Amino acid sequence: MTRACALPEGAQRFYHLITFGCQMNDHDSEVLAGILEGMGYRAVDRAEAADLVVINTCCVRASAENKVYARLGELGRLKRRKPHLVIAVGGCLPQREGAAEELMRRFPQVDVIFGARNLHRLPELLARVAAGRPVVGLWAPPDEPPEGLPARRAPGVKAWVTVMYGCSNFCSYCVVPFVRGPERSRPPEAIVAEVEDLARRGYREVTLLGQNVNAYGRDLGNITFADLLRRLDRVSGVMRIRFTTSHPRDFDDRLIEVLAAGRHLCEHVHLPVQAGSNRVLGRMNRGYTREQYLDLVDRLRAALPGVGLTTDIMVGFPGEDEEDFEATLDLVRRVRFDAAFTFIYNPRPGTPAAAWPEQVPLEVRRRRIRELIALQRQISLENNRAEEGRVVEVLVEGPSETDSGRLCGRTRSFKMVVFPGASDLVGKLVRVEILAGKVNHLEGRVVEQG
C-alpha cells in the first residue's frame, strides 16, 4: 500500500504548505494549493495537524536554502512521532545542481521531490509515494505547465498573474535560468482571460509576474510586453496593473509610451541595476552600461511624472574593488531610488561567477552592504518626506500589518501609505493627504473617498 493513501478510504486529508522566496514562489504556492484542494486535501496552518507537508523552496542565495534545511530538520523530528506524514519538497532548490541528491542524502524523511516548473506533476508523484524511497520528479523540457491549473488565491484586493516562465539571461551569478528553465511566454489570450476572471471576482489590482517581464512575447514572435499591457489596460473592473521584474536591457521606448498612455498601468518600475560599475556589469553579463541605465531612468522620469523607481543591488561580486563599489554608491546617489533590495553576493553552485578566483572577503562584503543600506535609507527617507503635503491616490488593501487599527494601501508609485479609516474603504481608491514620510512608508489622512 502506498503511504499517500495510507488513510482510510474517504477520510479527510490535510495539507500544510510552507513557502520561501519571491512573489513568483508565493504565486506558485497558490497554484499548489489549488491542485491539492482539487485532490480533496484541506489546508491547515500547522504541520502537526497535516497528513502532507509541501515546502516550496528558494535557492537564489545560500541563506534561503539554509532555511529550507532547518525546516526539514524539524519535520524529520515530527515524522518520527507521526510516521504516516508525507513530506514533499518542490520549487527551485531541488532543480539546483546537486541539490536533489543532497536532499535525499541529508533528509531521508523526504517522500517527494519536484521542480518549480512541474508543479502540475505533484498529484501523480504523490500517488507513487511508498515507504522507504523518495519519488523524484524534476522538471525537464519539453514538459510545461498546462493552462488552466487551479489556483487558491489569497482573498483580498490584489492578485498575481504569471505571464512568463523561466529566464534565458544567464547573469553570471544567478541560478534562476538553471532552476526555472528558459523563457516561455504564456499565450496572451490566456492571460487576458485570467485577468478578466480576476476582475469579475472582485480583485482590483493585478501584478504580472516574470523574471524578465519585458522580454514577454520574444518567443511568440507576434506580440510584445507593451502590446500585452495595452490589451490588459482595457479589461474592465481592474483598477491597477503592475508588473515585475523588468530588465533594464529590454525596456524600450515603446513600453514607456504605453505606460505613459495607460489608465490603469501604474507608474512604478522595479528595475534591478545590480551594480554601478561598467566593469562589474560586464562581468555580470547584464547587457547594459551604467550610462544606458541612467539614460533609461531619465527617459522614464520624463515620460512618467512621479514614477516610483525601485531596484535590486548586489555588493561584493567577484573582483569588485573599492572603485567599483564607489561607482555603485554614486549611481544610487544619482538615481535616488525610492527603495532597494540589497544583497551580499553569494556564490551559487553551477553558476560561472562561483568558480572565479577573485571572491571578495566576507568582511569587505559586509562593510559594503552596511554603507549601501545606510545611504539608501537616507534617500528613501528624503524621498518620502518630499511627499509630505501632497494628495495621492491610494488603493486600500486592508488593515495595516503593523497597526491593525489603521488601514494601508499603496500609491500608484508603490509607496505604502498608512492612515485611519473604516474597513468599508477596503478595495476602494481614496485620496490621501500625506502628513509624514518615514523610511519605508508614508502616513496620511483620507481627504476624499471612493
The least CB distance from residue 264 to ligand SF4, in Å, is: 26
Could you tell me how many residues make up the chain? 450
Segment interacting with ligand SAH (CB under 6 A) among 100-108, 339-347, 420-428, 439-447: 339-347
Q: Please, are residues 209 and 27 in contact by the beta-carbon 8 Å criterion?
A: yes
Q: Which x/- pattern over 232-251 shows residues binding ligand SAH (rule: CB under 6 A)?
A: -------------x-x----
Longest dimension (CA), the chain: 68
CA-closest candidate to residue 121, choices 90, 83, 75: 90
Q: Please, are residues 353 and 318 in contact by the beta-carbon 8 Å criterion?
A: yes
Residue closer to ligand SAH by CB (options 226, 275) is: 275
The least CB distance from residue 225 to ligand SF4, in Å, is: 14
In sequence order, the β-bridge partners of residue 135 are: 112
CA distance readout (Å), 227 to 191, 214, 217, 262, 355: 12, 11, 9, 11, 40
DSSP H or E segment with residue 191: helix 188-200
Alpha helices in 360-415 (DSSP H): 362-385
Residue closer to ligand SAH by CB (options 2, 207) is: 207
Q: Answer with the entry of ligand SAH, ligand SF4, none that 114 interacts with (C-beta below 5 to 8 A by kind).
A: none
CA–CA dist 373, 386 (Å, integer): 20
Interface positions, 43-82, toward ligand SAH (CB under 6 A): 60-61
DSSP H or E segment with residue 434: strand 429-437
Residue closer to ligand SF4 by CB (options 47, 179) is: 179
Sign of the dihedral defined by the CA atoms of residues 388, 333, 274, 367, in that order: negative
Q: Please, are residues 278 and 287 in contact by the beta-carbon 8 Å criterion?
A: no
Q: Please, are residues 129 and 135 in contact by the beta-carbon 8 Å criterion?
A: yes
Q: Answer with the entry of ligand SF4, ligand SAH, none that 314 interacts with (C-beta below 5 to 8 A by kind).
A: ligand SAH
CA–CA dist 314, 191 (Å, integer): 32
The least CB distance from residue 398 to ligand SAH, in Å, is: 26
Cα first-last separation, the chain = 58
Q: Answer with the entry of ligand SF4, ligand SAH, none that 343 interacts with (C-beta below 5 to 8 A by kind).
A: ligand SAH
In sequence order, the β-bridge partners of residue 314 are: 343
Q: How many residues bind ligand SAH (CB under 6 A)?
A: 18
Q: Answer with the entry of ligand SAH, ligand SF4, none that 185 interacts with (C-beta below 5 to 8 A by kind).
A: none
Residue closer to ligand SAH by CB (options 3, 96) is: 96
Q: Please, are residues 73 and 49 in contact by the beta-carbon 8 Å criterion?
A: no
- Residues near ligand SF4, by CB under 6 A: 167, 169-171, 174, 176-177, 211-212, 247
Q: Please, are residues 57 and 119 in contact by the beta-carbon 8 Å criterion?
A: no
Q: Answer with the entry of ligand SF4, ligand SAH, none that 342 interacts with (C-beta below 5 to 8 A by kind).
A: none
CA–CA dist 208, 163 (Å, integer): 6
Q: Answer with the entry of ligand SF4, ligand SAH, none that 177 interacts with (C-beta below 5 to 8 A by kind).
A: ligand SF4
The least CB distance from residue 323 to ligand SF4, in Å, is: 23
Q: Answer with the entry of ligand SAH, ligand SF4, none that 170 interacts with (C-beta below 5 to 8 A by kind).
A: ligand SF4
CA-closest candidate to residue 273, choices 354, 350, 340: 340
Q: Which x/- pattern over 167-206 shows residues binding ligand SAH (rule: CB under 6 A)?
A: x-----xx-x------------------------------
Using CB under 6 A, pick the residue from 158, 348, 365, 368 that binds ligand SAH: 348
CA-closest candidate to residue 161, choices 23, 275, 331: 23
Is residue 274 a contact residue for ligand SAH (CB under 6 A)?
yes
Segment interacting with ligand SAH (CB under 6 A) among 224-232, 340-348, 384-392, 396-404: 340-348
The least CB distance from residue 436 to ligand SAH, in Å, is: 30
Segment interacting with ligand SAH (CB under 6 A) among 84-92, 112-120, 225-233, 345-353: 345-353
The least CB distance from residue 184 to ligand SAH, in Å, is: 15
Q: Which residues bind ligand SAH (CB under 6 A)?
A: 60-61, 167, 173-174, 176, 211-212, 245, 247, 272, 274, 312, 314, 343, 345-346, 348
